[in-house]
């Protein structure tokens, strides 16, 4: 079955720092928050407003080591916070890698990775 994005909402256009974010929603009601950083400078602790409370797993990171990037990322995903942002009741705090796009998918039923796996992500995250 083909899944097509049926709704695209521009979350934010921070033109002054060359960042844009948007939230497509598929026919299967999957929410995926995209952040695009068009500068060679990483944007740490960038906040996005999101519609759902829960965990957002990082499903795309074009700066990943796999693509010979600098491996700046979100340690596999982030938990939403009850902090209003961009007109939404919740938000997520993410790291936007330089010259890259990240996509974080809302997980309806999420089992957090084991501590061992998270430690490995953290180690890879801090490599220079």
* Angle 19-23-66 from CA coordinates, rounded to 5°: 65
**Contacts for 82 with CB less than 8 Å, ≥ 6 apart:** 53, 89, 90
Which mean pLDDT values do the consecutive 10-residue runs of the chain (128 residues) have?
54 82 83 94 95 94 94 95 92 97 88 48 45
User: At 13, which CATH number?
Assistant: 2.60.40.1180
Look up the pTM and report it. Answer: 0.77
Spatial CB neighbours of 114, under 8 Å, sequence gap ≥ 6: none
Range of the domain at 77: 5-126
The count of structural domains within the chain is 1
């Amino acid at each position: 079955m083909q899944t097509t994005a049926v709704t695209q909402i521009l979350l934010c256009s921070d033109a002054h720092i060359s960042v844009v974010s948007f939230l497509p929603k598929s026919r299967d009601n999957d929410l995926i928050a995209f952040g695009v950083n068009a500068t060679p400078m990483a944007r740490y602790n960038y906040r996005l407003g999101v519609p759902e409370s829960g965990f957002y797993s990082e499903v795309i990171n074009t700066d990943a080591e796999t693509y010979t990037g600098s491996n700046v990322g979100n340690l596999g995903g982030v938990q939403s916070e009850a902090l209003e942002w961009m007109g939404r009741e919740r938000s997520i705090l993410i790291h936007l890698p330089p010259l890259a796009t990240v996509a974080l998918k809302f997980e309806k039923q999420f089992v957090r990775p084991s501590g061992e796996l998270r430690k490995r992500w953290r180690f890879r995250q801090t490599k220079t």
